[in-house]
Amino acid sequence: MNREEVHSASLCEKLSDADLVRETKFLAERTRRNEVRLLEHLAEFDARRLCLEEGYRSLYEYCVCALGFEEGEAYRRIRVARVIRAFPEALTALAQKRVTSSSLVVLSPWLERKNVAEWLKAATGKSRRELEALVAARYPQAPQPDAVRNLPSCPAVVSCAPPDACEVVPGSSGDVPAPSPGDWAPLPAAPPRLDWGWQQLSPVSSDRVRVGFDAASIVARLIERVRQILRHKYPEGRLEDLIREALEAYLDRKDPQRRLELKAARAECASAPPPAENDERLPTRFLRSWAAGRYIPAKVKSAVWARDDGRCAWREEDGTVCGSKDWIEYDHLRPFAKGGRSGDARNIRLLCRQHTQAAAAAEGLSAGRLRDG
């Protein structure tokens, strides 16, 4: 810390609470006004293409290398500068604090001369997230397919400005063409780092959001395991269904509010009178089957799962075991209708759905032969 910083810190420490509040508000207001003036200057700077005369190939390179802006900050200010250059009413709204620079960045791809007034009015007083949801509702995006892919352990830093940083804002006159990607000059070398912009929740329509994040490879294995377990409930195995199911299960166990609601629901059910025998809502077939022992006890399921290692135990004629982990079901070796016991782990096995159907078909074929014989 140099002398000026030490001196500034000591002055702040001497301020009273009221003075500190007043000074903070004053500095924030002055910073905002200077930001608006800076954007005006950048818009004119861009119109005159002075970055070329200063020895830089683009305004982005000038902002980063000459003005010392951070890459994302340079991108945002260039976008806003071009918006206020194309639409002067946006500058007025920005100066009057009706919209923010972040709002203009969100609106920049959709602004046209015929709709700029409508969008500026809609953006008044809204946060960036609210505005993103509004734009997504107006211009819904097509759903994207699920994807799980490997990323390099040390991703390289993009050595040039993002193309969007120098494209012409839609609706502008277009007198300043966007430089080609080859015109970008490489930025100074920087240590590799992740692009955290992808790790976000971005709305794509009025009732849909896009979720993006990078994860360790073990997460991909966990997702695959959950997909196998929930294959019966969600045959397509979509990430949305799997993650929602996992989050719901976690909240059922850990969310205090949900536990209270569940406790109240159980107390209500316990205090309610039993249903009449002729009540149509009574699952009589289920109760009869349970009493008759058709359903497999939990301890038997656990033993069978451990014995078969959670895999299909179907054995081919040559002795090959299927071993699939998808569509796993509990199957009776001796059918229940023929006296097979559900409480005996020796009579229960794990089969995938395909081999369950094969076993049923084989059983039906043998039964038909017995009848024909």
Helices marked H in the chain: 3-14, 17-48, 50-53, 59-61, 71-86, 88-95, 101-107, 116-123, 128-138, 217-229, 239-254, 256-271, 284-292, 298-308, 353-372
**pLDDT score, position 272:** 57
Largest CA distance in the chain: 105
CA–CA–CA angle 56, 90, 184 (5° rounding): 20
Given pLDDT bands bounded at 50, 70 and 90, which one contains residue 78? very high
Cα 65 from Cα 55, distance rounded (Å): 11
Q: Which residue has the tokens 């039993």?
A: 274
pLDDT, residue 287, reads 45
- % of the chain residues with pLDDT over 70: 70
> Average pLDDT for residues 156-169, to the nearest whole number?
42
- Cα 99 to Cα 120: distance, rounded to the nearest angstrom: 7
| More confident site: 63 or 165 | 63
pLDDT at residue 205 tops 80:
no
Between residues 369 and 127, the one the model is more confident about: 127
Q: Token pair 């020796």 is at which residue?
A: 346
Task: Render pLDDT for 310-340 as a digit per residue (tens, 0 to 9).
Answer: 889 988 888 888 888 888 888 888 887 777 7
| Dihedral angle computed from the Cα positions of residues 28, 29, 35 and 38, in that order, rounded to the nearest 10 degrees | -130
- pLDDT, tens digit (0-9, with 9 covering 90-100), for 167-197: 444 444 444 444 443 443 444 444 444 444 5
What is the number of other CB atoms lying within 10 angstroms of the CB of residue 158? 13
At 82 the pLDDT is 92
Give me the residue label for tokens 């709002």: 103
Please, which residues have CB within 8 angstroms of residue 13's CB and are 6 or more apart in sequence?
A: none
Q: What value does the mean pLDDT take over residues 292-303?
A: 77
Distances in whole angstroms, Cα of residue 48 to Cα of each of 52, 186, 301, 310:
9, 23, 76, 70
Separation of alpha carbons 309 and 304, rounded Å: 8
Average pLDDT over residues 88-101: 89
Higher per-residue pLDDT: 31 or 278: 31
Task: Collect all residues with Cβ–Cβ distance below 8 Å to 327 and sequence separation of at least 6.
Answer: 231, 232, 352, 353, 354
Higher pLDDT pick, 366 / 262: 262
**Looking at the predicted structure, is the pLDDT value of residue 115 above 80?**
yes
Count CB atoms within 10 A of the CB of residue 95. 16
Q: Place 9 in a pLDDT band, splitting at 50, 70 and 90.
A: low
Q: Averaged over 283-306, what is the pLDDT? A: 67
Position of tokens 């910083």?
5
Quick one: pLDDT at residue 253?
84
Q: What is the pLDDT of residue 86?
A: 92
Instruction: Among 2-6, 68-72, 288-292, 299-303, name the one with the lowest average pLDDT.
Output: 288-292
- Over the chain, what is the mean pLDDT? 75
Query: What six digits make up the tokens of 285?
Result: 């077939």
Higher model confidence: residue 250 or residue 160? Answer: 250
- Residue 189 and residue 125: Cα distance in Å, rounded? 40
The torsion angles phi and psi of 353, rounded to 5 degrees, stand at -60, -40
pLDDT higher than 80, residue 160: no
pLDDT-derived band at 147, boundaries 50, 70, 90: low
- For the cut 60, the answer to whether the pLDDT of residue 210 exceeds it is yes
Contact 129, 135 (CB under 8 A): no
Q: Phi, psi (5° rounding) for residue 201?
A: -110, 110
Q: What is the pLDDT of residue 8?
A: 57
Task: Give pairs for 88-93: CB < 8 Å, separation 24+.
Answer: 89/116, 89/117, 89/120, 90/116, 90/120, 91/36, 91/39, 91/40, 93/120, 93/123, 93/124
d(CA 87, CA 116): 8
Share of the chain above pLDDT 90, in %: 7
Is pLDDT above 60 for 142?
yes
* Residue 219 pLDDT: 85
User: Is it the case that residue 91 has pLDDT exceeding 80?
Assistant: yes
State yes or no: pLDDT of 83 exceeds 80.
yes
- Residue 62 φ then ψ, to 5°: -65, -45
30: pLDDT strictly greater than 70? yes
Handedness of CA 319, 323, 324, 330 (dihedral sign): positive
Predicted local distance difference test score (pLDDT) of residue 184: 39
DSSP assignment, residue 185?
Answer: P
Calculate the CA dihedral of residues 13, 16, 20, 21 and round it to 10 degrees.
Answer: 150
pLDDT at 366 over 70: no
CA 228, 233, 236: angle at the middle one, nearest 5?
A: 65
Query: Does pLDDT of 80 surpass 80?
Result: yes
pLDDT at 278 over 60: no
